[in-house]
Amino acid sequence: MKTMEDYRDHFPIFKHKVYINSCSYAALSNEVEAAFLRYLKDRHELGADWVNWCERLEKVRTLFAKLLTAKVDEIAVTASASASLSAVSSSLDFSSPRKKIVTTDLAFPTEAHAWHALKKNGAEVVHVKEKDGMIDMAELDRLVDDKTLLVAVPLVCYRNGALADIPKIRDIARKNGAMILVDAYQGVGAVPINATEWGVDFIVGGSLKYLLSTAGVGFLYVREGLISQSNPTQTGWFAQEDIHAMLIHDNIPANSARRFEQGTPAVPNLYAAEAGLKLILEVGVEKIRKYVAVLNEHLKQGVLKIGGKLMSPADPDQHGAMITVASTDQYALVARLAERNIVASCRDGNLRLSAHFYNNIQDIDVVLKALEDNKNLLA
């Protein structure tokens, strides 16, 4: 049986870097690199190979379904989380009294932009404030009412790593008859997701972070019972029931979540997404979550020991894989780490450190030593 250290050897960057930036972009594995090269080989040898490309799209759809514990017909393969959000936005109906969309101040900008763009259609957009870095559940309960159409929340906040209580949020939405959408991008691949148990309506995400591959491939989960009622106007030929029919005098959307898809998929990226998903499923998200939790506890205790301030929730059950540290100059701190061959990122005044299954305790110790040596940049 492979250990996490065995898997580390699949990522060449660790020969010369400490890579702890999976919240931004995953480290490149040998498998994903080989998948890109396979695409180029196929192009040289076969030229256009639409049968294979469409089959690969379906393989990726099946892998996303397995990852999310969902049915294959509940998965749309999109170009990005933004494309998924646009498709969902275009399916919303504001002709009824339900015109309110409840989002949060922890939202990733694209998610909030999607809802505010709907104001021209009559949408009312309200934001739930954060409390101690988390979604203020009392305010959420107050804002969601019988005029609410949709509640949208991030699974993990991109700024501070806070992990949302999805079942509790779902219950608040449901008791008021509202739909619920989860932006899972900062969690998927690092936090277990069971769409069936969650009972939410939509889940969006993509493949470039903890799913190990690249930009250009996203996903959208749509609850089975909602599909036939949804009529997205953001559409394309891959959203049709028969993509090969080439009809131009009608729009006949698929009887599955494919109706939320649009144009030609990013074929090279499907090769990469398939390789990344297979590797994540081989390792197992439950195992990844437990393994990274040990690394993060070591990191958090080390930060506190040197006098740093954690901006992520202290409770390990309330944050994802990313840990954030307050800084007086976030960009200077990222640059100082880079001088030591440590790859990290920052947002909102905080240093972001996001371990994955390819990291180890030695990586964390290297990071902690660099932070101790640059305490003047810690808030």
Q: Say if residue 137's pLDDT is above 90.
A: yes
Predicted pLDDT of residue 218: 98
Which two tokens mark 275?
A: 């390789």
What's the confidence (pLDDT) of residue 43? 96
Choose the weakest-confidence range: 42-51, 175-184, 242-251, 360-369: 242-251
- Predicted local confidence at residue 294, as pLDDT: 98
Task: Report strand pairing: 350-354 vs 322-326.
Answer: antiparallel
Look up residue 216 and give its amino acid: G
Residue 244: per-residue pLDDT: 87
Which pLDDT band holds residue 247 (cuts at 50, 70, 90)? confident
Contact 71, 224 (CB under 8 A): yes
pLDDT of residue 1: 81
Buried b (16+ CB within 10 A) or exposed e, 81-92: bbbbbbbbbbbb
Q: CA 25, 28, 33: angle at the middle one, nearest 5?
A: 130
pLDDT in tens, 254-280: 999 999 999 999 999 999 999 999 999
Find the mean pLDDT for residues 239-261.
Answer: 94
What is the CB neighbour count within 10 angstroms for residue 105?
15
Question: Per residue in 160-182, pLDDT tens?
Answer: 999 999 999 999 999 999 999 99
3-state secondary structure 134-166: EECHHHHHHHCCCCEEEEEEECECCCCCEECCH
Determine the straight-line distance between the first and last CA of the chain, rounded to whole angstroms.
43
Q: Which residues pair with 345 in a beta bridge?
A: 352
Supply the DSSP symbol for 65: H
Mean pLDDT of 248-256: 94
For the chain, counts of helices (H) and of strands (E):
13, 14
Residue 351 reports pLDDT greater than 90: yes
Report the distance separating Cα 172 and Cα 174, nearest Å. 6
**Domains, the chain:** 4-27+284-377 (3.90.1150.10), 33-281 (3.40.640.10)
pLDDT above 90: residue 19:
yes
pTM over 0.95, yes/no = yes
DSSP H or E run through 53: helix 50-68
